[in-house]
Amino acid sequence: MENNKNNVNKETVLALKDAIELLGGKWKFCILHNLQNYGTMRFKDLKETSQGISPKVLSKELQELEENQLITRTVNNTKPVTVSYKLTKHATESQPVLKALIDFGLKHRKKIKEK
């Protein structure tokens, strides 16, 4: 193990930890992925496409994503009230992560099936 990469690493490791904190957990990637595919979505839509999520958890995840400026939340003037969520510009930077994760997952599934 060499020693000359330590400076480079410190920053990248911090970036990595930040990213994991922001996007970690069971549902965030899934939510972002759905928003990426469908564009603007309502609470109900997200609940249906993120199969298995409870309203409580979905609500919490959306709040966290909003706090980190990855999505915007808009209350619509409808009856009953509907609320729309969509990705921010900044969230488009998470697209390569999603793509890479899906690629990796697909390859892994293939590999497992070979046996």
Partner DNA sequence: GTTATGCATTACCTTTAGGAAAGTGACTAT
Partner DNA sequence: ATAGTCACTTTCCTAAAGGTAATGCATAAC
Q: What is the dihedral of CA 77, 73, 39, 28, to 10 degrees?
A: -140
87's CB contacts (< 8 A; 6+ apart) are 32, 35, 36, 70, 71
Instruction: Establish if 27 lies at the interface with DNA (CB under 7 A).
Output: yes
Instruction: Establish if 104 lies at the interface with its own copies (CB under 8 A).
Output: yes
Instruction: Establish if 79 lies at the interface with DNA (CB under 7 A).
Output: yes
CB of 79 to its own copies, least distance (A): 20
Instruction: Establish if 9 lies at the interface with its own copies (CB under 8 A).
Output: yes
Contact pattern from residue 69 through residue 98 relative to its own copies, giving x for each residue in contact according to CB under 8 A and a dash for the rest = x--------------------x--xx-xxx
Which range touches DNA (CB under 7 A), out of 31-39, 76-84, 96-104, 105-113?
Answer: 76-84
For its own copies, the closer CB: 80 or 96: 96
